[in-house]
Structure 1
């Protein structure tokens, strides 16, 4: 599953390689997708590589190889690509069902969220997970995401964990949040604010803190719980 910008970039690379035999430059990709900087292209290329659609070849200029194509892109005519906008649709209302200790709430697992290099959270429900009602409190909408990566391990969040998120557009310093960066990539990080700058801080010394302007980051929700399966 690709975001719209990831799909558009892959389609543009394929079109140029079909025409010229070589991939476009990063500047050409930036202009084609109407992005403000090449850093956005770097993130999209990394996401496509992580998902197995392209491969970057070392020590060669413009060295991008298309490994596979999503359903529809390989067909030249008459297809309607299945893509996702950068923003996340609101989660459906949760369902209640009896549990041994009162009530459990069925939350939709909306896909995977990166605890590492930012990637896009998949914007469709993969399955539901039962969450103790006491974990959620008495108000607000919630959704769940599966964690991919190890950048939050020192906060007790491991690869494969399910994180429970309360939808909210802002958070306090030190909160662990789902942050949408430049309307393209989502990540799970600790939030730090300093004037007009926002830092997304990992809980693993192997990962650097990333600093953005406040208009580049949108808080999608705050971590309120975690579910781990053994």
Structure 2
């Protein structure tokens, strides 16, 4: 291996270890946390130096796409994943799919969908969907679409411009957004905008 600093050795080792454990490389933030660097620009600087020494190669068009290049072996880390934007929490106010609200990209297996499905993720606040297995603090994976079938779990924008995750039902003269919590009442509205259909749930175990 070409001469590198101790910090760069640690970064390289962490990337390899994460790929072995998870199947995809870590984010810049995760690298910084692992090696004790608070500034993402400092991490980018170390990655750039590793790249200039021919030890890694990055694809700037794909988050987390990193190749580790070694003398006798080339390990390409391009997992079969789709990078899904994490929009934020389900809250009232601005449209949640606005590009400026994207917090980061999260790599998920393509079993959730492909890049053509226009997926996004939201963090759930509250207990309104606990009986569907969606808990406070979970992340829902959402396929962006404007229509839904009765019984689908959707992200919907109500007349009051409040974004909510509920089970969707179209009745004769109104829409019913049904929580999956027997202690809560449904939301009844005359108009509703469907922002997407929930296709999966991601939960971090602490």
TM-score class, shorter-chain normalisation, is: 0.5 to 0.7
Give the CA deviation at 1:191: 0.1
TM-score (norm 1): 0.52
Deviations 1:103-155 (A, max 9, x none): 111111111015xxxx3465501222111111115742111111111110000
Q: How does 1:173-192 map to 2 (within 5 A)?
A: 173-182=150-159, 184-192=161-169
Of 122, 139, 149, which aligns to 1:162?
Answer: 139
C-alpha distance in 2 between matches for 1:165 and 1:171: 12
1:143 aligns with 2:120: yes
Can you give the 5+ residue segments of structure 1 that lack an aligned partner in the other structure?
Answer: 1-92
Report which of the two structures shows the higher radius of gyration computed on alpha carbons. 2
Stretches of structure 2 lacking an aligned partner (at least 5 in a row): 1-60, 67-75
The correspondence of residues 71-220 of structure 1 with structure 2, limited to 5 A, is 97=65, 102-113=79-90, 119-120=92-93, 122=96, 123=98, 124-136=101-113, 139-182=116-159, 184-213=161-190, 216-220=191-195
CA contact (8 A) 1:172 1:191 kept: yes
Quick one: distance in 1 between partners of 2:146 and 2:112? 20
Contact 1:113 1:148 in 2 (8 A): yes
Give the whole-Å Cα distance in 1 for the aligned partners of 2:65 and 2:167: 32
Deviations 1:55-107 (A, max 9, x none): xxxxxxxxxxxxxxxxxxxxxxxxxxxxxxxxxxxxxx986858999511111
CA deviations on 1:156-190 (whole Å, 9 max, x unpaired) are 00111111100100100000000001161100000
Residue 207 and residue 159 in structure 1: after superposition, are their counterparts in 2 closer, same or farther (change >3 A)? same
Note closer, same or farther for the CA distance 1:171–1:162 as it changes in structure 2 (3 Å cut).
Answer: same
**Residues 154 and 136 of structure 1, relative CA distance in 2, 3 Å threshold:** same
Aligned residues, how many? 132
- Give distance in 2, aligned partners of 1:191 and 1:102: 34
CA separation of 1:97/1:207 partners in 2, compared to 1, >3 Å: closer, same or farther?
Answer: farther
C-alpha root-mean-square deviation of aligned residues, in Å? 2.7
Q: Map Cα deviations across residues 34-55 of structure 1 (whole Å, 9 max, x no partner).
A: xxxxxxxxxxxxxxxxxxxxxx
Q: What TM-score do you get using the length of structure 2 for normalisation?
A: 0.57
Post-superposition, which runs of at least 4 consecutive aligned residues in structure 1 deviate over 6 A? Answer: 98-101
Q: Is the 8 A contact 1:108 1:125 kept in 2?
A: yes
Q: Secondary structure of 1:199's partner?
A: strand
Change beyond 3 A, Cα 1:134–1:212: same
SS in 2 for 1:184: coil
